């Protein structure tokens, strides 16, 4: 099983207080990276730790608070631990003393609600061995691996790692090609990368780097330039570029320069098709035209960054939407994976960034409440293309691929 090029698998550790969750993390990492204490409740909030697990490779372990925490503060810790399920690809339920009661059943119900695969580890088996009848019952009821383990003397660590690899969903390991099926060997792809006050000092942003790597992986040729150099290059290139990918803010300018026979899209739309629910975005984008006075739009940024005066999500898109609709629309912005300031049903539209910094599972968990509530969802790039009148052209490369897949029965 090969690890994907883009995202590390996220593994969440859940269970009661003092069941040895942190000790299990240290055993997996084969080093002391989590605080271990005999005092229940040592871990108070979900903590993410990047580590190398022998046999799996780089991974993010999410260490959570005890699910049996009590009191008002304890319930808040439990809620935060459950919220972490939106970000994990695989869960481990840690039990001890053959104790499997309503607390554990509720945790598994939460796993199943979030569609998170899991395994069960009976820890501290040097003190109380796993009851074979409990193991058989859990195998029968949930159809998952149940392993006896001692984090202090992990003699069967390889068995645990093998179980994790079997349970890990393929999407956590294998990243689909960003442009596979669109570009092929020897195609030329032009990447328009403006260097403005939002561009990081001395480097390209992640979607641009990912696109370059994917073009190379497809044995194609990447030509990277600023929008100011595009006019002098685009008409003399031979062979003609197969595709031009631009920063969404340059859509209008780049559209005017790129001949119609050359395909054009944006980095954010590329990511929308790769990571998001593209069909949901296709349905949600036209709902921009339905916005009314007083409607509220939620801008979802999946990373935190220093905000510039002309920030794309906080200033430019809201400005463009107000100018386009001629409506008094209100906007909320939520960065990272923070909680929303109001119920999802208060919003008439959700606009999600390209999500280059989070996993596909995290993105799906982020927008699922909106989908379930029937709130339209679109993407930064797709919304900008709609507002600038080049939506059909910008999505066409992926629509051609979509039609080809249907024709070929995929």
Beta bridge partners of 13: 63, 92
Mean pLDDT of 182-197: 90
Beta strand 57-63 with 47-53 is antiparallel
Highest mean pLDDT among 81-90, 236-245, 289-298, 334-343: 289-298
How many residues make up the chain in this entry?
Answer: 410
| Low-confidence winner among 32-36, 178-182, 276-280, 353-357 (lowest mean pLDDT) | 32-36
Angle at 93 between CA 73 and CA 107, to 5 degrees: 55
pLDDT above 60 for 321: yes
| Low-confidence winner among 23-32, 103-112, 338-347 (lowest mean pLDDT) | 23-32
Name the 3-class secondary structure at 225.
strand
Beta bridge partners of 189: 222, 243
pLDDT above 50 for 44: no
**Average of per-residue pLDDT values in the chain:** 86
pLDDT digits 0-9 by tens, 165-182: 889 887 665 557 899 889
Mean pLDDT of 113-137: 94
Question: Is cis: bond before 239, omega within 30 of 0?
Answer: yes
pLDDT above 80 for 138: yes
Q: Which of 260, 261, 264 is nearest to 245 (CA)?
A: 264
The pTM of this model reads: 0.71
pLDDT digits 0-9 by tens, 363-389: 888 898 999 999 999 999 999 999 999
Q: Can you spell out the DSSP letters for 96-126?
A: -TT--SHHHHHHHHHHHHTT--EEEEE--TT
Q: Assign 23 a pLDDT band (cuts: 50, 70, 90).
A: confident
Question: What's the order of all strands across the beta sheet hosting 243-246?
Answer: 221-225, 188-192, 243-246, 263-266
pLDDT digits 0-9 by tens, 261-299: 999 999 999 999 888 789 999 999 999 999 999 999 999
Mean pLDDT of 250-266: 95
pLDDT digits 0-9 by tens, 82-95: 888 888 889 999 99
Q: Which domains does the chain have, with CATH numbers?
A: 10-172 (3.40.50.300), 281-387 (3.40.50.11410)
Beta bridge partners of 378: 351
Helix axes 157-167 and 21-29, enclosed angle (nearest 10) = 90
pLDDT above 90 for 147: yes
Q: Quickly list H helices, 300-390.
A: 317-325, 360-373, 380-387
Q: What is the pLDDT of residue 39?
A: 45
pLDDT digits 0-9 by tens, 152-167: 888 888 999 999 988 9
Q: What is the pLDDT of residue 51?
A: 76
Q: What is the pLDDT of residue 40?
A: 46
């Amino acid at each position: 099983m090969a690890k994907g090029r883009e995202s590390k698998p996220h593994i969440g550790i859940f269970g009661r207080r003092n069941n040895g969750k942190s000790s299990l993390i240290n055993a997996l990492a084969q080093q002391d990276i989590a605080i271990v204490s005999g005092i229940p409740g040592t871990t108070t909030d979900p903590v993410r730790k990047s580590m190398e697990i022998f046999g799996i490779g780089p991974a993010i372990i999410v260490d959570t608070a005890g699910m049996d925490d009590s009191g008002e503060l304890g319930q808040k810790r439990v809620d935060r631990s459950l919220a972490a399920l939106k970000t994990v690809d695989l869960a481990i339920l840690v039990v001890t003393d053959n104790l499997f009661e309503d607390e554990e059943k509720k945790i598994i119900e939460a796993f199943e609600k979030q569609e998170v695969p899991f395994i069960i580890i009976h820890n501290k088996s040097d003190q109380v061995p796993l009851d074979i009848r409990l193991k058989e019952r859990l195998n029968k009821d949930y159809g998952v691996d149940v392993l006896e383990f001692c984090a202090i003397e992990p003699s069967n660590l390889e068995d645990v790692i093998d179980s994790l690899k079997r349970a890990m969903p393929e999407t956590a390991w294998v990243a689909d090609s960003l442009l596979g099926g669109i570009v092929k060997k020897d195609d030329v792809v032009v990447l328009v990368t403006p260097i403005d006050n939002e561009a990081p000092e001395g480097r390209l942003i992640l979607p641009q780097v990912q696109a370059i790597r994917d073009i190379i992986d497809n044995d194609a040729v990447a030509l990277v330039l600023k929008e100011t150099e595009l006019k002098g290059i685009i008409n003399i290139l031979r062979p003609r570029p197969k595709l031009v990918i631009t920063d969404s803010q340059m859509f209008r300018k780049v559209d005017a320069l790129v001949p119609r026979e050359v395909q054009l899209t944006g980095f954010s739309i590329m990511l929308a098709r790769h990571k998001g629910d593209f069909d949901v975005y296709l349905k949600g984008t036209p709902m921009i035209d339905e916005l009314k006075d007083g409607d509220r739009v939620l801008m979802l940024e999946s990373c935190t960054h220093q905000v510039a005066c002309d920030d794309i999500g906080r200033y430019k898109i809201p400005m463009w939407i107000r100018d386009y609709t001629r409506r008094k629309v209100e906007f909320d912005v939520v960065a990272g994976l923070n909680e929303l300031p109001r119920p999802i049903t208060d919003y008439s539209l959700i606009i999600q960034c390209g999500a280059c910094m989070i996993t596909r599972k995290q993105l799906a968990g982020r927008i699922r409440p909106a989908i379930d509530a029937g709130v339209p969802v679109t993407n930064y790039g797709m919304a900008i293309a709609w507002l600038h009148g080049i939506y059909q052209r910008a999505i066409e490369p992926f629509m051609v691929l979509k039609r080809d897949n249907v024709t070929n029965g995929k």
